[in-house]
Structure 1
């Protein structure tokens, strides 16, 4: 089972893939999202999004600046103001 994850900026789709878990730097603190997570919307603070492709793997990190995160029945979408390469 996998979580459908999308990372989007106003300019482009940065990432769209099935992953095990994503840890998001929410404005109220970091939160992890797995498949089947309850619906949620949160603002995103500047920080690192950690992407775990498989259970127990080392995370890949992507720096984001601001935005929103939405978890729904389709998966997790992060709408970031900016993504640092």
Structure 2
């Protein structure tokens, strides 16, 4: 399966922009696993939650703490616009 293009952006900077296997997004309605080919969707992000970024299948996820904002899956992949982000 093709990789998912993932971007994590805060008002201050672009935190991450790369191709990954999967990202688990802590949406306000629950967690969503996003992979390449996912249907278009938009959700708000829970405050003080963690994104889980899987760089390859079966890999240990990199956890990135985010607060507020939203996530959008579209033709260009997954974009997370967060109020703040840090490991």
**TM-score normalized by structure 2?**
0.95
* Distance (Å, rounded) in 2 between the aligned partners of 1:59 and 1:26: 17
CA displacement 1:28-53 (0-9 Å, x = unmatched): 00001000000000000120000000
Stretches of structure 1 that go unaligned for 5 or more consecutive residues are none
Please provide the CA RMSD for this pair: 0.7
Paired position in structure 2 for 1:25: 26
Query: Residue 67 of structure 1 aligns with which residue?
Result: 69
Structure 1 moving runs of 4+ over 3 Å: none
Report the count of equivalent residues.
85
> 2:78 aligns to what?
76
Task: Name the residue aligned to 2:9.
Answer: 8
Could you tell me how far apart the structure 2 residues matched to 1:12 and 1:23 are?
21
Look up the match of 1:40.
41
Query: Per-residue deviation at 1:18?
Result: 0.2
Give the match's secondary structure for 1:11: coil
CA distance in structure 2 between the partners assigned to 1:70 and 1:30 by the alignment? 14
